[in-house]
Structure 1
Amino acid sequence: MTSLKAMQDNAVDKGQLQINVTSEITAFPITGATISISYTGVPDSTLEQVNTDASGQSDVLELATPPLEYSLNPSIESQPYAEYTLDISAPGYETVSVAGAEVLPDVKAIQNVRLRPLAEVSQDEMVFVIPAHTLYGDYPPKIAEDEIKPIDETGEIVLSRVVVPEFIIVHDGSPRDSTANNYYVRYRDYIKNVASSEIYATWPADTIRANVLAIMSFTLNRVYTEWYRNKGYDFTITSSTAFDHKWIPERNIFDTISVIVDELFANYLSRPNVRQPILTQYCDGRRVSCPNWMTQWGSMALGEQGYSPIEILRYYYGDDMYINSAQEISGVPSSWPGYDLGIGASGDKVRQMQEQLNVIAGAYPAIPRIDADGIYGPATAASVEVFQSVFGLPQTGVVDYTTWYKISEIYVGVSRIAELV
């Protein structure tokens, strides 16, 4: 077992951690939840104990991490992140423990926790152990597949167009492991989880964008071609790195990755005259080589050299790779108007957004309620700015593409309209 002194000797930089606690049933924030933070592997090393506020959020905590260079240099094999154990409890809810939450230097780790209401039949603590990051741990490499799937076979189920789903079903194991659990996961949450599991959040923003685009395109290919359902399975994708991506139940994500996924979530990668998203495969490029695929460490080096996301992707996949955008996004009440909403804007889209914000404010009292009058004035801008603060977006007071869809996502969650349609 790692000693406390060894951890402290290696912890020379600082990272941030914020915990968000909501009800699994209502998606409402849980106020006053108690969170104890300790070093993983040293359970008696309680570092801090904090409580959640009216938005179900802890303060942003500063925690010790290994040096930043560990996550930026592929030749350094030391673990680049610190691991912390979080014990979360609240009156009337089952206690949850997350062991191995990863904190990297210079970025904010976000631990989202959903607590289940206490049932008389079950009062056991729910324990989640987060395994090693794929760039540090030992995982099987991707088994090569064709990047474009045949879709003319008899009985083949294929969507008529590319759709960004609201949920996907993740099989937490290899395809033939019938003992593995299936999880219903929001699409954006899935992408954030995979990216946080497979690349380091300290990497250049355009490297993160290139990798997120590859992860999303691969996932949407599985959705579009109904790949596993056509083989008789009842899930969309697996958590096996040999077949798909690494997805980890209840793992933390990172702010640098979360913001980029919210920015790009409707995009995927295309080749000319091919309707389906491209199955963009990749490997780490250090322990595993993969000619004609993107390497994660290589993409990091290109990002540091100033390459744009599409330049990184074309470097590996060829010059006929393009970024495309899905025309249909499932589970949203209404699509983005196509332009930013700010002070002076008016009309039905403004009114709809105001109505959704007021519903959200019923669950998140820090967000001021406003008159749903269809006029974007200072009060609306102030409410939007608080919403952006609570949900980790740039605090501009303007409803841009990312904010519009984040409002839709949270509105659907707290109003439960998804169950009614």
Structure 2
Amino acid sequence: MDKGGLKISVVSSNRNRPIANARIEITYTGEPERIVERLITDENGQIPEIELSAPPIEYSMTPSEYQPYSEYDFRITADEFEPITISGAEILPEITALQTIKLNERSIREPFEVITIPDHTLYGNYPPKIPEDEIKPVDESGEIVLSRVVIPEFIVVHDGSPEDSTANDYYVRYRDYIKNVASSEIYATWPRETIKANVLAIMSFTLNRVYTEWYRNRGYDFTITSSTAFDHKWIFGRNIFDTISEVVDEIFSSYLSRPGVRQPILTQYCDGERVSCPGWMTQWGSKYLGDGGYSAIQILRNFYGSNLYINTAEEISGIPLSWPGYDLDIGASGDKVSQIQEQLNAIREGYPALPKVRVDGIYGEGTQRAVREFQRIFGLPVTGIIDYPTWYRIQDIYVGVTRIAELV
């Protein structure tokens, strides 16, 4: 057996505040009496990274009858909150699984919630994608189409097929949705450029649904479904992986285009082993090209053609402060620095481990210390430099701790 890492964060469903002193029991799925770890969260609602047993990494590098990940259950209890169990969380070897758990305030009935994670799509059996045109007609009478490509703050995920009126709808942050889908549909042990190619395909597909208002134009009140027959597999409550999370944070405003076409391309794909899909990307094929040193765009063009290119959205919705276009480091100054300092202080109200920053518009050692601690808490490379991923993560957390209703 190999080892995989695990980090758990426990927050309240109201405003995403960290929950200190939450109690976590980790057991093997199927062996609820065999406790592997007992842990307690710190003031940031987190536990130190731990290692758990996982299958050999070779199982996730080629199609195999052997399950390439281990499954664990997490039981979480905290004073004044309803307990919850996550069953079937996936641990892959040599990378770190990231599990965020949201607890509801305790009600009179004190219900006990169990979230069961189904098989990964490359291991379990799921319906294959129903083929669609990669470019949607936008001149049909009555069809709503956005005037420009916008990265939404939230999307509404219908957890089932479009016709299933009993399925729940979930408001999900766009980046969290992409990380969830990628963690459900590819293995995070794969080459970075393969992960990047698949993430770009997932984002472009999703933004096509957003841009064309595909489901709303058909009378539905959601953006996308969790059915693999129609869209991508999104799994409520599942963990994500650090390698995938880092890639999404770096390129989340990107999508795939063709010359002369405004809308993001509906980039469909299949696994390429159990299901064949000529003209589409295959997940295992993208993995082998990544092994061979292909870049993400080379992988994508190999499947979708040489006239495919990477574009950037014109707007990121719900973000109060746009990226200045350069890194902020020691010596930087101006309004952008002041605004970041103010945001870090606002975040500190929910995360007291962050040192208070003097709002003076000068990026000094105090600001750098606060940035380093922010990066440590939220799983970013600890550089003390506000690069593109750090910038938008600060925006994301700032919005999360200063809003209430839409985050419940």
TM range (shorter): over 0.9
Among 205, 212, 224, which residue is 2:211 paired with? 224
Matched, 1:351 2:338: yes
Residue 367 of structure 2 corresponds to residue 380 of structure 1: yes
- For 1:314 and 1:344, the matched residues in 2 are separated by 41
For the residue of structure 2 that corresponds to 1:402, the secondary structure is helix
Does the aligned pair in 1 maintain the 2:14–2:404 contact within 8 Å? Answer: no
1:399-420 residue CA offsets vs partner (Å, 9 max, x unmatched): 0111100000000000118869
Alignment partners' CA distance in 2, 1:358 and 1:81: 40
Give the 5 Å matches for 1:6-405. Answer: 12-74=1-63, 76-120=64-108, 122-405=109-392
Deviation at 1:362? Answer: 1.2
CA shift for structure 1 position 208: 0.4
Name the TM-score, length of structure 1 as normaliser: 0.96
Superposition RMSD in Å: 1.0
Inter-partner Cα distance in structure 1 for 2:35 and 2:72: 10
What is the count of residue pairs matched by the alignment? 407
Q: Who is 1:6 aligned against?
A: none
Q: Say whether residues 1:410 and 2:367 are aligned partners.
A: no
Secondary structure of the residue that 1:87 maps to in structure 2?
strand
Task: Tell me the amino acid that sits aligned with residue 221 of structure 1.
Answer: N
Unaligned residue ranges in structure 2 (runs of 5+): none
1:382 deviation in Å? 1.1
Where in structure 1 are there 5+ consecutive unaligned residues? 1-11
182 and 64 in structure 1: CA distance in 2 versus 1, 3 angstrom threshold: same
CA distance in structure 1 between the aligned counterparts of 2:374 and 2:292, rounded to whole angstroms = 35
SS at 1:193 equivalent:
helix
1:412 touches 1:418 (CA, 8 Å); kept in 2?
no
Q: 2:6, 2:51 within 8 Å by CA — same for their partners in 1?
A: yes
1:230 Cα offset (Å): 0.4
State the distance in 1 between where 2:246 and 2:45 align. Answer: 20
Distance 1:29 1:108 in 2: 20
Q: Deviations over 1:192-212 (max 9, x none)?
A: 000000000000011000000
Q: Secondary structure at the match of 1:45?
A: strand
How far apart in 2 are the matches of 1:374 and 1:344?
Answer: 10
Other structure's SS at 2:274 match: coil
Q: Do the aligned residues in 2 keep the contact of 1:331 with 1:418 (CA within 8 Å)? A: no
- Give the letter for the 2:369 counterpart: A
The question of whether the paired residues in 1 share the 8 Å contact of 2:160 and 2:225 is answered with: yes
**Offset of 1:367 from its aligned partner?**
1.1
CA distance in 1, matches of 2:165, 2:102: 26
The letter for the 1-side match of 2:73 is T
Distance in 1 separating the partners of 2:335 and 2:142:
43
Contact 2:72 2:89 in 1 (8 A): yes
The CA distance in 1 between the partners of 2:406 and 2:323, in whole Å, is 22
TM score, norm. by length of structure 2 = 0.99
Matches of 1:374 and 1:185, distance apart in 2: 33
Query: Displacement, 1:26?
Result: 2.1
Letter aligned with residue 343 of structure 1: I
2: CA distance, partners of 1:354 / 1:43: 46
Using the aligned pairs only, state the percent identity: 67
Q: Please state how far the C-alpha of 1:334 moved relative to its aligned partner.
A: 1.1
User: Residue 4 of structure 1 corresponds to which residue in structure 2?
Assistant: none
Distance in 2 (CA, whole Å) between partners of 1:192 and 1:338 is: 24
